[in-house]
Structure 1
C-alpha cells in the first residue's frame, strides 16, 4: 500500500487534534486522570492541548488541505 506524504500529514494532524480535544474536555470537566496510581496534573493537559493544536495545525497545512469548497 502506498501512502503519500499529504495523506500521512493530514491523518496525523487529525490524530493530534483528537488528542488535544480529549485533553481539552478533561480540562473543561475537571476530570482526574490516574495512570498506575499517579495523578496526572492539569498542567500536563494544558501542555498537550497547546502543543497538540500546534502540531495538528502544521500537519494539516503541510498536507495542503484547503477545505471542502476549494
Structure 2
C-alpha cells in the first residue's frame, strides 16, 4: 500500500467519523454506554479532532 493510498483511506475514514459526530450534534442523538450517557461536548471534541485528522490526511494524499 502506498503512502498516498493510506492517506486517502485514512482521510475518508476520519471524514466519516466527523460526519457521524456532526449528525449526532444536529439530530440530538443520545449515546449510552452501559448506563452512562455520553455528553454532547464529547461529540464536539470528536468532530474537531476527526475533521482535523481528515484534513491532514487529505493534504498528505494530495502532496504524495
* Number of residue pairs matched by the alignment: 63
Give unpaired runs (5+ residues) of structure 2.
none
**Structure 1 alignment gaps of length 5 or more:** 66-70
Give TM-score scaled by structure 1 length.
Answer: 0.85
Q: Which runs of 4+ in 1 moved over 6 A?
A: none
CA RMSD, 1 decimal: 1.0
Q: What is the SS of the residue equivalent to 2:29? A: coil
TM-score norm. by structure 2 comes to 0.93
Greater Rg over alpha carbons, structure: 1
